[in-house]
């Protein structure tokens, strides 16, 4: 029996959020006095998968089936269930993400397992299996006791401080039996900006609101983001106005983010936007309105004109490199 961790790959490497999931799974495995096994689906070099050991896994099951080179939550869930059965796992861990949610859901129904999503703490095993999870889009937390025999936990980004070791994991190939019904949908086209940093993965996010005054004024924000190696986001009005693409919309009804650093430029801080960023470790707000509610949620604030301040911050970042 081992804890099984489903990981996501980005160009052959384990995503940062999945590294956190491995660390979480490794810690649970230690508590249960068992091992931690990773399931990785997609093309990756063995050396990139052995890295799972740094985060606490002993073994990686690697699926290279070419039919799965395209993300397919139905087939991934089938594969996960077969790995669970091989390993005899009762605890399954993954990062909270769009793909993670889809795979967790399909696998849970197959296994009659519970899914607890947005988990923010290691389990308390002293009396049951209790974890803390984020609810109401980060406006509150809940302690829940998981009663089902098989438990699926989707871990919120930045929930734990990951400590790496120099251990490496043993990589084994894993060949699932695939069902035709999992390939019922055909992908006809993919529109993806491959150079963009994913908001879900980014450690730093620079985000703009209506205070940027128009899509033609985004360059100073993009330059700061580039200097910081940050992803870029925006508030809902900005994506509603088509100043920025929808997949940059951060907020209660957009993407929920939890970076180490969130820099909000010209965003007043409506409660729905705050709900999408309240998992951030550090929030910086730049706004010319000193009464902007976002300052109440910020760690650092600058009252001033974003078009004056952003280029100066970019220069300061470049100078400090």
Partner 1 sequence: MKILVCITNVPDTTAKISFTDNDTRFNKNGVQYIIGPYDDYALARGVELREASGGSLTVLNVGESDSEPQIRKALAIGADEAIRVNAEPTDSYFVASQIAHIASQNKYDLILMGRESLDFNSGVVHGLVGEMLGIPSYSPVMQLDVTEGKAEFAREIDGGKEHLVASLPLVLGCQEPIAEWKIPNMRGIMTARTKPLTVVEPVDVDTMVTLEKYIQPAPKGACKMIPADEAEQLITLLKTEAKVL
Annotated binding site: 210, 266-273, 287
Helices 98-111 and 73-87: crossing angle in degrees, nearest 10, is 50
Instruction: Give the shortest CB-138-to-partner 1 separation in angstroms.
Output: 8
Binding residues for partner 1 restricted to 208-247, rule: CB under 8 A: 228, 246-247
CA distance 133 to 207: 26
Question: Within 248-277, which residues bind partner 1 (CB under 8 A)?
Answer: 252-253, 256, 260-261, 271-272, 275
Query: Applying CB under 8 A, which of residues 47, 125, 142, 163 lies at the interface with partner 1?
Result: 142
Asked if residue 289 binds partner 1 (CB under 8 A), the reply is no
Report the distance separating Cα 314 and Cα 224, nearest Å.
5
Q: Which residue has the tokens 């984020």?
A: 134
Which segment (61-69, 87-95, 168-176, 196-204) binds partner 1 by CB under 8 A? Answer: 196-204
CA distance 284 to 301: 6
Provide the 10 A C-beta neighbour count for residue 170.
14
Instruction: Report, in Å, the least distance between residue 168 CB and partner 1.
Output: 27
Candidates 7, 94, 146, 153: give the one binding partner 1 (CB under 8 A): 146
Scan residues 81-100 and list those touching partner 1 (CB under 8 A). 98
Smallest distance from partner 1 to CB 261, Å:
4
Q: Are 81 and 110 in contact (CB under 8 A)?
A: yes
Site for partner 1 in 14-53 (CB under 8 A): none
| CB 40, CB 48: distance < 8 Å | no
Q: Which is nearer to partner 1, 80 or 171 (CB)?
A: 80
The dihedral formed by the CA atoms of 15, 19, 21 and 27, expressed in degrees to the nearest 10? 170
Supply the minimum distance, in Å, between the C-beta of residue 93 and partner 1: 15
Of the two residues 172 and 308, which places its CB atom closer to partner 1 in the complex?
308
Binding residues for partner 1, rule CB under 8 A, total: 92
Interface residues for partner 1 in 103-132 (CB under 8 A)?
Answer: 103-106, 108-110, 112-118, 130, 132
Interface with partner 1 includes 67 (CB under 8 A)?
Answer: no
CA distance 142 to 115: 14
Closest separation in Å from C-beta 101 to partner 1? 4
Considering only residues 167 to 186 of the shown chain, the ones binding partner 1 according to CB under 8 A are: 181, 184-186
- Check: CB of residue 10 under 8 Å from CB of residue 201: yes
Stretch that binds partner 1, among 31-39, 56-64, 135-143, 215-223 (CB under 8 A): 135-143
DSSP 19-77: HHHHHHHHHHHHHHTSEEEEEEES---HHHHHGGGGGT-SEEEEE--GGGSS--HHHHH
How far is CA 29 from each of CA 25, 37, 40, 123, 177, rounded to the nearest angstrom?
Answer: 6, 9, 18, 11, 27
Shortest reach from residue 292's CB to partner 1, in Å: 11
- Smallest distance from partner 1 to CB 24, Å: 17
Q: Binding segment for partner 1 among 25-33, 82-90, 205-213, 282-290 (CB under 8 A)?
A: 282-290
Give the torsion sign (CA, 277, 278, 281, 287).
positive
Q: Which residues are annotated as a binding site for FAD?
A: 210, 266-273, 287
């Amino acid at each position: 029996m081992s804890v099984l961790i489903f990981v996501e790959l980005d160009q052959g490497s384990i995503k940062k959020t999945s590294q956190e999931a491995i660390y979480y799974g490794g810690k649970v495995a230690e508590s249960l006095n068992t091992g931690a096994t990773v399931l990785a689906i997609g093309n990756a070099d063995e050396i990139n998968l052995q890295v799972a050991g740094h985060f606490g896994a002993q073994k990686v099951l690697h699926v290279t089936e070419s039919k799965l080179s395209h993300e397919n939550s139905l087939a991934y869930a089938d594969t996960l269930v077969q790995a669970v059965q091989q390993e005899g796992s009762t605890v399954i861990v993954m990062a909270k993400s769009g793909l993670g949610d889809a795979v967790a859901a399909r696998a849970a129904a197959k296994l009659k397992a519970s899914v607890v999503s947005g988990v923010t703490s290691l389990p308390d095993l002293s009396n049951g299996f209790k974890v803390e999870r984020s609810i109401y889009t980060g406006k509150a937390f809940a302690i829940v006791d998981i009663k089902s025999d098989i438990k699926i936990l989707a871990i919120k980004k930045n929930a734990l401080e990951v400590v790496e070791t120099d251990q490496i994991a043993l990589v084994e190939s894993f060949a699932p039996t695939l069902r035709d019904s999992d390939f019922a949908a055909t992908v006809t086209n993919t529109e993806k900006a491959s150079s963009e940093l994913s908001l879900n993965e980014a450690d730093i996010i620079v985000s703009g609101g209506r205070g940027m005054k128009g899509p033609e004024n985004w360059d100073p924000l993009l330059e700061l983001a580039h200097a910081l190696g940050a992803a870029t986001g925006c508030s809902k009005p900005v994506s509603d106005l088509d100043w920025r693409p929808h997949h940059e919309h951060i907020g209660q009804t957009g993407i929920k983010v939890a970076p180490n650093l969130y820099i909000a430029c010209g965003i007043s801080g409506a409660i729905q936007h705050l709900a999408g960023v309240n998992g951030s470790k550090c929030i910086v707000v730049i706004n010319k309105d000193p009464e902007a509610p976002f300052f109440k949620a910020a760690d650092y604030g600058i009252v001033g004109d974003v078009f004056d301040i952003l280029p100066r911050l970019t220069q300061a970042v470049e100078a400090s490199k």
